[in-house]
Amino acid sequence: MMKKIFLTYLMLLFLVQISSCKDDNSDREIDEVEDQITKVPLGDPFIMLHEGTYYAYGTLSNDGIAVFVSNDLQTWEVPAEAPAGLALHKSHVWADRWFWAPEVYHVNGKFYMYYSADEHICVATSNSPLGPFKQEVLKPMIEDEKCIDNSLFIDDDGTPFLLFDRFNDGLNIWVAELEDDLIQIKPETMVKCINVSQAWEEVWPRVNEGAFVLKHNDTYYMTYSANSYESLFYGIGFATAPAITGPWTKYAQNPILQKPEDLVGVGHSAMFTDKDGNLRVVFHAHNSKDRIHPRHMYISTVGFENRDGQEVMVIDENFMTPELKK
């Protein structure tokens, strides 16, 4: 059974909400928090459909990774089975701060959560999409350098890969093969994918982050975000490649989503297929044009169009604004 989201509970969640760059928003006034309880307050959102239920994970709490559930993508609630609304709690993992950008995948009967903690990439596992997710080995996937925003991709031949951001040239996106356990990286396979290289990405320089890859018609499509998440001009672009390891070519007409309608700071997207077989994209946007937090989750549809002889990815600007059940 699911429980309703009580106002006091939401206040506590919002007051510990953090950004992907360590902002502390605990000084927000209570009346400001009350104004935001109708929308899902996730940054860096990810949605997984499993056995008829949608699970949304994202950046929200200082104490771990939050989870919301829905049957229709429109109305969301906190599952009673997740203590304090968390699928992952810091007591079960290596780090104790800065829990960002989770993605959850069901592989061979087990759930794998890839996430960032203390500016390192980590993976935790569970037998349930609601957790508790725990690290089998209490250490990050790459111990000797900072990395964030990890995303799993399993190729057609079953080879698992992890995409992630490195800090060695601003933020840039790399890919590496994983061991069969989906937990350990093969360091010798690391390959750089993309870095800041287009004019639209230079409003707040040196940021390419939040990669997500799918394969369509034998072409690999990578969505990514550019500019700082704090910028009104944070946006989404895409690149294509003949293989997951590249070479990656950015779409010349990027961005494909930036400042749509009244939204600003849109980005850190991920894709999923809904119950009707439609390809969807989930992303966050700023609270308003004047305030970043709490960021909110939005959902749209993704399509592919032929433009000048090139198949391109298109995000529909008719957005769904998911609401919290009260």
Cα separations in angstroms, 39 against 23, 63, 71, 189: 20, 21, 16, 41
Count CB-CB contacts under 10 A for residue 170: 15
Catalytic site residue 149? Answer: no
What is the Cα 29 distance to its own chain's centre? 27
Q: From the candidates 103, 165, 201, 209, which is the catalytic residue?
A: 209
Residue of 44, 103, 149, 201 with catalytic role: 44
Residue of 135, 158, 154, 127 lying closest to 50 (CA atoms): 127
Contact 96, 90 (CB under 8 A): yes
Residue 109: DSSP 8-state: T
Distance between CA atoms of residues 33 and 261, nearest Å: 24
Counting Cα atoms < 13 Å in the Cβ hemisphere of 141 gives 35
- Residues 282, 319: Cα–Cα separation, whole Å: 10
Active site residue 209: yes
Task: Report the catalytic residues.
Answer: 44, 209
